[in-house]
Amino acid sequence: MSFMRKRLYAVAAAAVLVSIPTLSTASASTIVKMQFNLGLAGPPLDTVYIELFDDTPVTQANFLSYVNAGDYNNVVMHRMVPGFVLQGGGFTWNGSSFTPINNNGPIVNEFGRSNLRGTLAMAKLGGDPDSASNQFFFNYGDNSANLDNQNGGFTVFARVLGNGMDLIDAYSSLQTFTVAGFADVPLLNGNQFVVMNDVSVTQLRIGDTDLDGTVSQADADLLTTTLVGGTDQPQFDVDENGTVEQADLDLLNALLLGDIDGDGFVGITDLNVVLANWNQNTPPGNVNADTSGDGFVGIDDLNAVLGVWNAGSPPPPAAGATVPEPASLALLGLGSVMTLLRRRR
């Protein structure tokens, strides 16, 4: 390769980079607000925000199903062990006994992240790794040595954001009692339960109109219905311009096409799938790379990705993972595209 050709590629790559649109201000993954009745750390610290992890998709969808149904509202934190856990999610208090809330059944265990301080994990039955349903707990300390290594590991699915642990820590100073057969129930002044009185999605994955934690065709279907019905809930405003209109459905459909690996975000991983299958007929088992459905992975599919570059919400990095620098990776990828385009001629 001559010096001149190398320089040409560099210029072409830079030109494509400049033309990449930034359609949406990418926000974080799904964030849930949890409001408690005892503002022991002082307002506004009676509200805790948690970020759901994307590497536990079944647990995330399960947790959100309870949140979106309002099942966690008025639920008691029925177990507190200082330095260990604050647990709830299973019961309300009817004045004389604990009443089980709605239960959607057990889910598969997705243990992967350590039970470190400030994380939330699903509770489950002893001797049955796949028995989590609605109960969860906050980890007060580093419980990894214990909880990562028993019963298949307890699935960590979220973390407390900001200074939210100040409030959770404040509850650890409450005295605990045995109430209606439950040991370790934290009570203020011996008679006030710690209760979650509002648990709701406050920030969502862009395009996740049905609030289940993932972006899929179901979201586009719901948005189609919604446009007809004329509702204006914020999750339907995919392009975040303040109104719900056809443009939101168009962007969501474009996002679904460009998000080849289905992680709710259009970025380098999607570009890499196109590059890996470049100039090939639609590979079996990887039909998404052919976004246009013409049986060939080529420039139309590249455009489907670049046309909505950065749309959606970027997934958070996995715990302990080395985060690649996106800009340089994108440059590398686009440089390869230019080389491939040249070779094709």
- Output the smallest distance, CB 304 to Ca ion, in A: 8
- Output the smallest distance, CB 176 to Ca ion, in A: 39
What are residue 132's DSSP bridge partners? Answer: 107
Three-class SS string for 178-230? Answer: EECCEEEEEEECCCEECEEEEEEEEECCCCCCCCCCCCCHHHHHHHHHHHHHC
Tell me whether residue 30 or residue 114 sits nearer to Ca ion (CB atom).
30
Task: Pick the closest to residue 88 from 193, 212, 213 (CA basis).
Answer: 193
- Output the smallest distance, CB 72 to Ca ion, in A: 19
Tell me whether residue 71 or residue 259 sits nearer to Ca ion (CB atom).
259
The string of DSSP letters for 290-341 reads: -TT-SSB-SHHHHHHHHTTTT-B-PPPPPTTPPPP-HHHHHHHHHHHHHHHH
What DSSP designation does 281 have? B
Tell me whether residue 144 or residue 288 sits nearer to Ca ion (CB atom).
288
Exposure pattern of 173-182 as b/e (b: 16+ CB <10 Å)?
ebebeebeee
> Starting from the edge strand earliest in sequence, which strands make up the sheet with 175-179, in order?
175-179, 182-188, 192-193
- Output the smallest distance, CB 120 to Ca ion, in A: 21
Contact positions toward Ca ion, by CB under 5 A? Answer: 208, 210, 212, 219, 237, 239, 241, 248, 259, 261, 263, 265, 270, 290, 292, 294, 300-301
Tell me whether residue 138 or residue 157 sits nearer to Ca ion (CB atom).
157
- Output the smallest distance, CB 115 to Ca ion, in A: 28
- Give Cβ neighbours of residue 74 (< 8 Å, ≥ 6 apart): 92, 195, 196, 197
- Output the smallest distance, CB 215 to Ca ion, in A: 6
Tell me whether residue 97 or residue 241 sits nearer to Ca ion (CB atom).
241
Tell me whether residue 184 or residue 261 sits nearer to Ca ion (CB atom).
261
- Output the smallest distance, CB 312 to Ca ion, in A: 7
Exposure pattern of 258-287 as b/e (b: 16+ CB <10 Å)?
bbbeebbbbbbebbbbbbebbeeebeeeee
Tell me whether residue 30 or residue 133 sits nearer to Ca ion (CB atom).
30
Q: What is the CA radius of gyration of the chain?
A: 24
Tell me whether residue 110 or residue 248 sits nearer to Ca ion (CB atom).
248
Task: Pick the closest to residue 39 from 211, 170, 210 (CA basis).
Answer: 170
Rounded Cα gap, residues 63 and 56, in angstroms: 11
The residue of the chain with the least Cβ separation from Ca ion equals 292
SS3 content of the chain, % helix, strand, coil (to 5): 30, 20, 50
Tokens of 114: 């350590």
- Output the smallest distance, CB 300 to Ca ion, in A: 5
- Output the smallest distance, CB 245 to Ca ion, in A: 6
Tell me whether residue 45 or residue 244 sits nearer to Ca ion (CB atom).
244
